[in-house]
Amino acid sequence: MRMLILALSSFTVFIGCFFYLASVIFSEHYPYTYKSFNYYLLTPSEISKMTNLCIDKPSFIYSIGDGNKASYTAMNCTLDREIILNHIKELGFEINKHGRYVKNNTKIEFLYDDTNDKVTEVTLYEY
């Protein structure tokens, strides 16, 4: 009887974890916070290396690609423009003819504040 209860409990936990991961990973728009379980599960290394450069606490949005649409992770926080541009160049990103930073199948775009000296959002696309 004890083994049956243990087996059913283990099975229930496994199924719960499976459905949780499936709902997160296949989400069209999934917000999460810094240093949460989802941060470690979903954040690409290029983005996680930028979090220590944020002036304020970062928040994130993840979306899975659908068909020919790329998956992306957006980090919302305030960053110094020159520092972040130097940092992504150190990571191996190069600017292409369209003004976007690319490396292999990865592209990074920035959203700037009104004064254009701070970055307010970094979005990483994975194709």
| Three-class DSSP category at 120 | strand
Flag whether the pTM goes above 0.75. Answer: yes
d(CA 125, CA 101): 10
Task: Please give the helix or strand (H or E) that residue 106 lies within, else none.
Answer: strand 106-112
Mean pLDDT of the chain: 87
Residue, of 126 and 66, whose pLDDT is higher: 126
Mind listing the pLDDT tens digit for each residue in 78-99?
Answer: 999 999 999 999 999 999 888 8
Residue 24 has pLDDT above 70, yes or no: no
Q: What is the pLDDT confidence band of residue 27, given thresholds at 50, 70 and 90? A: low
User: Smallest Cα–Cα separation from 42: which of 72, 2, 3, 5?
Assistant: 72
- 62 DSSP β-pair partners: 30, 73
Q: Which pLDDT does position 16 carry in this prediction?
A: 72
Considering only CA atoms, give the Rg of the chain: 18
